[in-house]
Structure 1
């Protein structure tokens, strides 16, 4: 009995020691994640903190200066929006008349998913070096819109540029509706529509969508070998030296000087590719028969860079359901014989028929699972499917 008590006391002591150790590691990194890092001496280890983007420091004790952005896309053209619209958002600082990209984020609007009216939220992190983080610098947010076509081509659509006021604040918000207007609807006396092209090195001039009233306000779209406000600077980083291959994939666009920290060009991927250099193919490509959905379903790419495992959505037929339409829906067949009814109703006496299917909850409440409305008379035989294998408990006609 004494041995058992001694063993239980030592077990409780070791459990308490482990609890104290993990309790300390759970709080020592503030809102980050703590991990044990082993040194060359295996007997020694110390805590390493993995901080979220909004915090930094050895213990995630400092808050990062950040700009939260809310955007939505509105097409003001006569036609409806089709295909995929890629919005490339850039946080830019102007130092010595030179624009430097500090942070970037990509957002996709897809007509098949009908998410054009949805608000997209993300945030930029301001840099911590003193030469880039200063109240005297002018910070702007630039939105570049690209149309992604099914033939893997990429078309530039429009650009919006908004200043960031009160940049001395550690945290602020920017909420904008990106209104797109075709160039045919713009003023003909705009600088971009004259014979003189202000952009150099085969750069393309584009009006700024949020400054259409200013005919001399424009932005230069530079190619893969130049950069600058007027594409006046040359850059060959999009071409790998001593090889005939480009840095980005052949179906993508290459933009030098779009990554200040990595010192590498930015690759703008086409509809069916992704990755830092756009050499990886997406799982869902209906055009070439690459479909991860089952039972005749159609797949659509979700374009979520943070969720590559669940990177597509399946549009199931009526008889199937599930993430990949792998489950067959439950079906209820209703048929009746008009000759055996005690009360016969002619077709002109029935204005409408409603079929309701119910489940009973634990509190004996009726939960309406499905409701079908038929105008005029009820068909002699009908089939009702549900997005579940288990049928509702009872129904009413």
Structure 2
């Protein structure tokens, strides 16, 4: 048995059902050869996304395309990967991928050591497929067979104008992508167009409808947002709950604290209240969790009550600090 496993090194040993002594090796992407005995040159890339600006103005989903580009003339995409980013659900998410170099370097007119490579990151609005931002990072230490890069990018609230043009990349006429997609270029290793799908479609060519949200998805207390068809069924959508509700499907009422101001001439002249609440944990070694919320004061009654909803509220172990400001943001 051990000898059979050794036949394919880092792959899976497969034999024919007809009793033939021949076998085949199914190799993982980073290995190749008839027995998966060769390791492909690759770049292990880690991307972290940080938002900047007001979340209420952000799209519900972003599509991220990561490209490994060979700096020949014309520039050529030799590997790529795609991710779905949900800014209202994830804070500082990290994405890991392997970007593979070509197996047959001899197919290029120049040797790989004399050509520089770079990583291009493109961000699209998941609903409209509007191009939102673009980043470019040269790959250092080209001589390493297994290289690593880690980058953090900052996404602004509104799209950033750039000089990006799809004509920079070697591609075909991009006829395979559907009308529900943006064709970003041509991956010469996979021999296929790179199609970036809108949120409601999936598949290599974005031809398959992805309609995972139903009327019952968020129990009528939030907005259902499709995420990624590659996830397990329960994670293929997320719920943006109304402020009075919480839970993965908005199935629970959120705790509420009502902060009331007594009759005061100074209170009625204010435009904005900053409410800070501190959750005191039983395990004091971990410290306290501090949260805050800005609430506009729209009316000027003699007694003012502001309702504060938050998933982390615990009315038995929460200390409330209230500050008021006279400025209007």
The TM-score bracket by the shorter chain reads: 0.5 to 0.7
**Alpha-carbon separation, structure 2, partners of 1:324 and 1:181:** 28
- Per-residue CA distance 1:42-68 (angstroms, 9 max, x = gap): 342322111112222222222221111
**Is the Cα contact below 8 Å between 2:59 and 2:126 reproduced in 1?**
no
The TM-score with structure 2 as length reference comes to 0.64
**Alpha-carbon separation, structure 2, partners of 1:183 and 1:313:** 24
The TM-score with structure 1 as length reference comes to 0.54
3-state SS, counterpart of residue 114 of structure 2: coil
3-state SS, counterpart of residue 75 of structure 1: strand
Deviation at 1:69, TM superposition (A): 0.7
Change (3 A) 1:372 1:156: closer
Q: Is it true that 1:74 corresponds to 2:50 in the alignment?
A: yes
Selected match of 2:236 from 302, 312, 316: 312
**Alpha-carbon separation, structure 2, partners of 1:296 and 1:180:** 31
**Is the Cα contact below 8 Å between 1:34 and 1:47 reproduced in 2?**
yes
- Gaps of at least 5 residues in structure 1 are 1-21, 187-205, 208-218, 239-246, 330-355, 357-370, 377-397
- Per-residue CA distance 1:82-105 (angstroms, 9 max, x = gap): 41111100000022x210100000
**Is the Cα contact below 8 Å between 1:109 and 1:116 reproduced in 2?**
no
**Is the Cα contact below 8 Å between 2:5 and 2:13 reproduced in 1?**
yes
Aligned to 1:134: 112
**Is the Cα contact below 8 Å between 1:67 and 1:123 reproduced in 2?**
yes
Selected match of 2:186 from 239, 258, 263: 258
- Per-residue CA distance 1:277-324 (angstroms, 9 max, x = gap): 111112423xxxx3574866865433263x465551565999999x98
- Per-residue CA distance 1:151-183 (angstroms, 9 max, x = gap): xx2110111010001111001111111123478
Change (3 A) 1:55 1:141: same
Change (3 A) 1:294 1:24: farther
**Alpha-carbon separation, structure 2, partners of 1:276 and 1:292:** 29
> Between Structure 1 and Structure 2, how many residues are aligned?
253
**Is the Cα contact below 8 Å between 1:297 and 1:314 reproduced in 2?**
no
Q: How does 1:1-397 map to 2 (within 5 A)?
A: 22-38=1-17, 42-78=18-54, 81-95=58-72, 97-113=73-89, 115-131=90-106, 132=108, 134-149=112-127, 153-181=128-156, 206-207=161-162, 219-222=163-166, 227-228=167-168, 236-238=173-175, 247-255=176-184, 257-285=185-213, 290=214, 293=217, 299-303=224-228, 305=230, 307=231, 309=233, 311-313=235-237, 373-374=315-316
- Gaps of at least 5 residues in structure 2 are 253-281, 283-312, 319-329
Deviation at 1:237, TM superposition (A): 3.9
Structure (1 or 2) with the larger CA radius of gyration: 1
3-state SS, counterpart of residue 258 of structure 1: strand
Identify which of structures 1 and 2 has the higher relative contact order when contacts are C-alpha pairs closer than 8 Å and 6+ apart. 2
**Alpha-carbon separation, structure 1, partners of 2:174 and 2:157:** 32
More strand by share: 2
Deviation at 1:270, TM superposition (A): 0.3
Deviation at 1:261, TM superposition (A): 3.3
**Alpha-carbon separation, structure 2, partners of 1:264 and 1:228:** 17
